[in-house]
Amino acid sequence: MNIKFVNRSHVKSTKRRASKFKPLMEALDQLKPGGDAVEVSYESEKNVNSMRTAVYQFNQENKVKIKSGKDASKKVIYFYREK
């Protein structure tokens, strides 16, 4: 393993999650405790895990408690805010 230090300006980083899940994050902002849920369809389990990770980060940043529930037969995941 070869390790070396490089200048931080050479490291490119993107906010892929922020742009990929922007519509979801905007919808989560509108959730009210005990109110409606957000329904999101998915293609694979990898998509579900990515969405859940983004939502958990959203929870930490915004100090809210948004939970999820999944209907595997319909390939749909629901996000809702607890009372």
pLDDT for 6: 83
Average confidence score pLDDT of the chain: 88
pLDDT for 39: 95
pLDDT for 14: 63
Q: Is the pLDDT of residue 18 over 70?
A: no
Total-model pTM: 0.75
Confidence tier at 16 by pLDDT (50, 70, 90): low
Q: Are 76 and 43 in contact (CB under 8 A)?
A: no
Could you please report the per-residue DSSP string of the chain? -------GGG-----HHHHHTHHHHHHHHT--TTS--EEEE-SSHHHHHHHHHHHHHHHHHHT--EEEEEETTTTEEEEEE--
